[in-house]
A = this chain, B = another copy of it.
């Protein structure tokens, strides 16, 4: 599937500010960036650095005042899709070294606290079946409520309040997977079918020796997402991390199917 992507960001800063951006589709085997263009307004500095685990790219920029960004890309998704996740979990002691960090608790995913819950609720299932059951349990019991969360909201808060947006749904699923001994991380993506269309975030779980995207909001499908970057949780994959106060002027994301 081929996706056409645009993102427009327009922010006003109070002062000279360093800004970290991560919004370009990653160049990785599972997707081919056929075309891309990034235009950034007046700036004092621009440098690309590798993203987490060398997946995708972060941009350090330094701006004074206005930040405007226009990004467009065409991305061919070649991901091998396994929506049913008919896959086995890798035994803990067989996990590759690079997956170990995704077993650990993180800023928004204190997964170490959910052990008894996942055993009680999903103990009869394992591997892909368990992940699917956890995804569906979240989808059934949690309400998608724009504005229900903020930059402090952890998966514990969401687990109690039963409300959130895409990042919160992803955080709960990541917790439940890690607490089940399945490495899990977050992926920021451009995805078809997200309503309202915006940057999207989903969980990615390590099953059968590979990473698989799983969307607990059920808005997006694994084969119709272009990956931007990955991380332990939303702290790692913000499209913009500003180190001075900023005000939103305009932001728009579009994702369309090129057939």
Residues of A within 8 A of B (CB): 18, 20, 45, 47, 49-52, 58, 60-62, 91-98, 100-101, 104-107, 109-110, 112-114, 116-117, 120, 141, 143, 150-152, 156-157, 159-163, 181, 231-232, 235-236, 243
Hey, which chain B residues are within 8 Å of A151, CB to CB?
A: 112
Tell me if A235 and B112 are in contact (CB < 8 A): yes
Query: Which 5 pairs from chain A and chain B are nearest by CB?
Result: A49-B97, A18-B92, A105-B107, A116-B162, A60-B93
Tell me if B61 and A100 are in contact (CB < 8 A): no
Please pick, from B18, B47, B94, B156, the residue contacting A160 in the complex, using a CB distance under 8 A: B156
Please pick, from B20, B100, B152, the residue contacting A113 in the complex, using a CB distance under 8 A: B152
Please pick, from B91, B107, B141, the residue contacting A110 in the complex, using a CB distance under 8 A: B107
Alpha-carbon gap, A58 to B159, bound state (A) = 32
Please pick, from B58, B106, B159, the residue contacting A97 in the complex, using a CB distance under 8 A: B58
Hey, which chain B residues are within 8 Å of A107, CB to CB?
A: 104-107, 109-110, 112
Tell me if B161 and A101 are in contact (CB < 8 A): no
Alpha-carbon gap, A113 to B154, bound state (A) = 13
Alpha-carbon gap, A39 to B151, bound state (A) = 40
Task: Kindly report which residue of chain B lies nearest to residue A113, judged by CB atoms.
Answer: B160
Tell me if A120 and B100 are in contact (CB < 8 A): no
Task: Kindly report which residue of chain B lies nearest to residue A44, judged by CB atoms.
Answer: B93
Tell me if A236 and B112 are in contact (CB < 8 A): no
Tell me if A120 and B141 are in contact (CB < 8 A): yes
Hey, which chain B residues are within 8 Å of A60, CB to CB?
A: 92-95
Tell me if B160 and A160 are in contact (CB < 8 A): yes
Hey, which chain B residues are within 8 Å of A91, CB to CB?
A: 18, 62
Alpha-carbon gap, A47 to B60, bound state (A) = 38
Tell me if B141 and A93 are in contact (CB < 8 A): no
CB within 8 Å for A160 and B117 given contacts A52-B101, A95-B60, A105-B235: yes
CB within 8 Å for A47 and B93 given contacts A112-B151, A160-B160: yes
Given contacts A104-B236, A113-B152, A114-B160, 15 further A-B contacts (CB under 8 A): A18-B92, A20-B100, A49-B95, A49-B100, A50-B97, A52-B101, A58-B100, A60-B95, A106-B232, A107-B107, A107-B109, A110-B152, A156-B156, A160-B160, A181-B243
Hey, which chain B residues are within 8 Å of A236, CB to CB?
A: 101, 104
Pick 9 A–B contacts, CB within 8 A, sort by A: A49-B96, A60-B94, A104-B107, A104-B231, A106-B232, A112-B151, A114-B160, A117-B162, A120-B162
Please pick, from B106, B114, B161, the residue contacting A106 in the complex, using a CB distance under 8 A: B106
